[in-house]
Amino acid sequence: MKPLALLSVSDKTGLLDLARELSTTYNFQLISSGGTAKALKAAELEVTKVSDYTGAPEILGGRVKTLHPRIHGGILARLELPEHQQDLADNEIQPIRIVVVNLYPFEETIAKPNVTLEDAIENIDIGGPTLIRASAKNYTHVAVLSSPSQYPEFLAELKANNGETTLEFRKKLAIAAFQHTQAYDTAIAKYLGGDLIAEEPVSSEDKPLNTISSSYTLLCNNPKPLRYGENPHQPAIWYQVGATPKGWSAAQQLQGKELSFNNLLDLEAARSIVAEFGDDQPCAVIIKHNNPCGVAIAPTISEAYQKAFEADSTSAFGGIVALNRPIDEETAQLLNKTFLECVVAPACVPSVAAIFSKKQNLRVLVLSDLKHGSHETVKTIAGGMLVQRSDDEIVQPETWKVVTQKQPTTEQLQELVFAWKVSRHVKSNAIAITKDLTTIGIGAGQMNRVGSAKIALEQAGERAQGAFLASDGFFPFDDSVRTAAAAGIIAIVQPGGSMRDADSIKAADELGLIMVFTGIRHFLH
């Protein structure tokens, strides 16, 4: 008699490949319900409907399908107990060895505009969490898969163990399952209680500028141990936030070593910068130690990467690259010319696989949505944590104020916007110097702004002639203005707001500079 695998999923990502392997390679009998059964039959896979297996029809419009003793008896049976074995035999119940379930998309439903309470309630899964919890409880005998992201590792486990799973692996799946249902129930409770923190993209117009939720629950799932944290002596774990994989949890890694703690931090820093520039123009970002060392916009993605690399080729060695366009062959060839840790893009043309295969350790990732990140940031402190709105307001140059006699042209304003967008992703005190929509000097993380300016200008060197400077905070004195002008800077963008703004403006007018105040500062600690 074939072993049983129950499949009942809302998210059908990877379903057919998994089902085909279970059925053809490992000889499992598939039982399924509703849309999952239809999808399997459409793929010409042999499947038994749950209603046929139980002898009980689906009722209440599909609300009750799997809540039946033949299903839950098969999942919960402790096969080492003779009395359980007897109950199974008396009731013609087969043990169910594998349960593949993911839940109705509750979070996605409530994120939709104008969602009704009735719609939300209809997307509260009942049978799914029951199946998941029952399977996880009996992990001694049952393997439970609660997310499509687990399928590749599960199939590798079957292959390594001749179609079986180890107790340790099943326990790992059970822990993830309980965390999944916990996060799911928490999201429901917070929604019904009117205190859900939205995790889906929300436009800046929809977010109050001076408020943040008064309670914050971390909905952590699928813990994935990392080799170590920032340093080898620090243990680290990567958690998925929310019940549904999104962001880096949803990224596809095409090749390379496992992602590290520092890789993930730098990838997010790179993603946040390319997100600034949307899809309007090809943009390339190179990150090193959580700071940009090269950012550029160009007509093609290969040109953008080359410009970003040449901005600071020394720091780019061992860097993290993010691109807002699919990687083509020309760009892949350029990326292969130096040692890089990671590359991420929204897609890759198929032919680049052979090119990247020459750099087996290079981590190549595809993340279709590079635009959206978390709308809150969290930092832990002794005895608690700090939560704030992310610094992701849309840059609005029409609200800026030109404070000098000299006015920027349209092209010069475009360059100032570019420099300003980069500066808010540089650790404070931050100075970004740009030219031709490319960074040429970055001063980051210094204890005073003069020091950051000097570092950025020294890096820019002769390229600073005719360049543009952005400062994430105001200039407390006019010394940095004069230093910038002496190096060849022709325009400065800064928040303004210093008691000595008049001194900086006077110096800029005296030296023939353009200076623009944004009225917003962008400290990044």
Which tens digit of pLDDT belongs to each residue from 241-288? 766 778 898 899 999 999 999 999 999 999 999 999 988 899 999 999
Question: Are both 359 and 411 inside the same structural domain?
Answer: no
Both 404 and 362 in a single domain?
no
With bands split at pLDDT 50, 70 and 90, how would you rate the model's confidence at 210?
Answer: very low
Whether 65 is catalytic: no
Q: Are residues 153 and 12 in the same domain?
A: yes
User: Model confidence at 86, in pLDDT bands (50, 70, 90)?
Assistant: confident
- The verdict on 437 and 340 lying in the same domain is no
State yes or no: pLDDT of 228 exceeds 60.
yes
- Which of 349, 366, 383 is the C-terminal boundary of a domain? 366
CATH number at residue 271: 3.40.140.20
| Arithmetic mean of pLDDT, 97-102 | 90
Q: Tell me if 523 is assigned to some domain.
A: no
Domain housing 72: 4-192
Overall number of domains in the chain: 3
Q: Whole-number mean pLDDT of the chain?
A: 88
Domain shared by 176 and 128, yes or no: yes
Indicate whether 225 belongs to any domain: no
Whether 390 is covered by a domain: the verdict is no
**pLDDT for position 209:** 42
The residue from 84, 137, 375, 406 that is catalytic is 137
In the structure encoding, which two tokens stand for residue 154, read together? 């599960």
Residue 388 lies in a domain: no
Average pLDDT over residues 77-96: 82
Phi-psi label, residue 226: left if phi above 0, alpha if psi -120 to 50, beta otherwise: beta
Q: Is residue 389 part of a domain?
A: no
- What is the reported pLDDT for 78? 84
Q: Are residues 267 and 324 in the same domain?
A: yes
Residue 68 among the catalytic residues = no
Residue 502's CB is within 10 A of a number of other CB atoms, namely 11
Annotated catalytic residue: which of 12, 224, 289, 375? Answer: 289
pTM of the model: 0.66
Alpha helices by DSSP H, 241-381: 261-276, 301-311, 313-316, 329-335, 352-356
Residue 52 within a domain: yes
Residues 355-366 have a mean pLDDT of 94
In a domain, 315, yes or no: yes
Whether 203 is covered by a domain: the verdict is no
Domain boundary among 366, 386, 413: 366
Q: Please tell me whether residues 407 and 486 are part of one structural domain.
A: yes
Question: What is the DSSP secondary-structure string of 464-490?
Answer: GTT-EEEESS--SSSHHHHHHHHHT--
Q: Are 207 and 184 in contact (CB under 8 A)?
A: no
**Looking at the structure, do residues 360 and 406 belong to the same domain, yes or no?**
no
Separation of alpha carbons 77 and 59, rounded Å:
25
At residue 216 the predicted structure's pLDDT band, cuts being 50, 70 and 90, is low
Final residue of a domain: which of 159, 192, 225?
Answer: 192
Please report the pLDDT score of residue 203 as a whole number. 39
Residues 169 and 270 in one domain: no
Instruction: Quick: pLDDT tens for 318-346.
Output: 999 999 999 999 999 999 999 999 999 99
State the number of CA atoms in the 13 A half-sphere of 381 facing the CB.
4
**CATH number for position 18:** 3.40.50.1380
pLDDT digits (tens, 9 = 90+) for 18-41: 999 998 899 898 998 878 888 998
Residues 495 and 349 in one domain: no
Q: Indicate whether 327 and 179 sit together in one domain.
A: no
Q: Residue 201: is its pLDDT beyond 80?
A: no
Percent of the chain with pLDDT over 90: 54
Is the same domain home to 36 and 154?
yes
Query: What pLDDT is stored for residue 279 in this prediction?
Result: 84
Confidence at residue 206, expressed as pLDDT on a 0 to 100 scale:
44
- The mean pLDDT of 397-417, rounded to a whole number, is 96
| Segment 178-203 mean pLDDT | 65
